Structure 1
Amino acid sequence: MRDPDEFSPSGYWYPDGGSDQTISLLDQLRRYRAAETAMRARTRATMLMNENDLRALRFLLHEQRAGRSVRPIDLSRVLDISTASTTMLIDRLERGGHAHRAPHPSDRRAGIVVPTTHGDDEVRATLGAMHQRMLAYVDALSDHDRAIIVRFLGGMSAAVESDASTAPAP
């Protein structure tokens, strides 16, 4: 069965229609969201990981690049999952060769979770070419266009995250 968001655009989603350009812009935003959702599903399938596993690995790699250690409780908080779920998640990451447990560098009573070279390599192999295409496209835009798009996406995020009374004006 097809996702209702994949149907051809009609503008009926929006009250009082809106201009053709407005509807076209919002339809392209939905198209991007659908493409990103499909890409995430392909990535999870390729890497044999669920959504939280992939989010955890991204967080571990980010923190490692920033020179920060990650404790299991940090993963629990970032992913908003229980400590029991975090233990199972770390076990899966270890079994997949994406991360391993290690002693905390300064607290002998604590442990940390460290991404493996394999985990980093697999993310780069799976997503690297797509990320390069995305960067090349954005780099080809003018500074002015990038600023407009950043403002637009920030406003759209705020509109989706909040109720109508607190959404920012354009």
Structure 2
Amino acid sequence: MADDEQMTSLRERISDHLRRFGSEASRVTDIFAKTHAMHPTDLQALVLILNAERQGEPATPGVLRTMLNLTSGAVTGTVDRLVRAGHVRREPDAHDRRQIRLHHDASGPEIGQEFFGPLGERIDAAMAGYDADELALIERFLSSAAEAMAAHRRSLEEPGR
């Protein structure tokens, strides 16, 4: 077992890598947004819509408002721009016609694959160096780290903070 000093050093290096990853990811998404003449908020909304749909529950404007910390008017403008660009479509909810669900259109995944496909290939190549047990451990860590980040974001958004 590693001593305390080694553990501290290892945790610091992991934290450094996470910060670098976050910074690089932010820069790549900024390039994507500029390449496709999108506002960064539009891109964040598109990613939320794609992820929600992939998880089986299409997003609503209310979800975008909460997740992106936007006003109703700003969400409407964001969704309008995404619809005009052909990335998203609005559909009434099958069970509650008053509710609108947001779905990606064909161009959303296509432009994403075109731009991010090479990144996926690089990530796949990086993961190829790990066995199934190591990948399971990495997945568990990243899941925990993502939840820690989400919990921190939620604490920062609390009223009266």
Q: TM-score, structure 1 length as denominator? A: 0.67
Structure 2 equivalent of residue 71 of structure 1 = 60
Structure 1: distance between partners of 2:51 and 2:123: 19
In structure 1, the gaps of 5 or more residues are 1-18, 163-170
* Residue in 2 that maps onto 1:85: 74
Q: Which of the pair is proportionally richer in helix?
A: 2
Deviates most, 114-123 or 130-139: 130-139
Alignment partner of 1:116 is 2:96? no
Identity of matched residues, %: 24
* CA–CA separation in structure 2 for the residues paired with 1:108 and 1:23: 51
Equivalent of residue 54 in structure 1, options 35, 43, 52: 43
RMSD of Structure 2 on Structure 1 (CA):
3.2
Relative distance call for 1:60 and 1:144 in structure 2 (3 A) is same
Q: Structure 2: which 5+ residue stretches go unaligned?
A: 1-7, 154-161
Aligned length: 145
**CA apart distance, 1:117:** 0.7
1:131 and 2:117 are equivalent in the alignment: no
2: distance between equivalents of 1:145 and 1:23? Answer: 20
TM-score normalized with structure 2 length: 0.70
- Select which of 30, 33, 37 maps to 2:26: 37
Shift of 1:26: 5.6
Match of 1:105 among 94, 103, 111: 94
Counterpart CA distance in 2 for 1:47 and 1:86 is 19
Q: Distance in 1 between matches of 2:31 and 2:105?
A: 22
**For each residue in 1:66-108, what CA deviation from the matched residue of structure 2 results, as whole angstroms up to 9, or x when unmatched?**
2223221121122221111111110111121111222222222
SS at match of 2:103: strand
Spell out, residue by residue over 1:111-151, the C-alpha distance to the aligned partner (whole angstroms, 9 max, x if none): 22221011111111111120221122123223455426854
Determine the C-alpha separation between the residues in 1 that align with 2:94 and 2:30.
Answer: 35
Q: Which of these two proteins has the greater Rg computed from alpha carbons?
A: 1
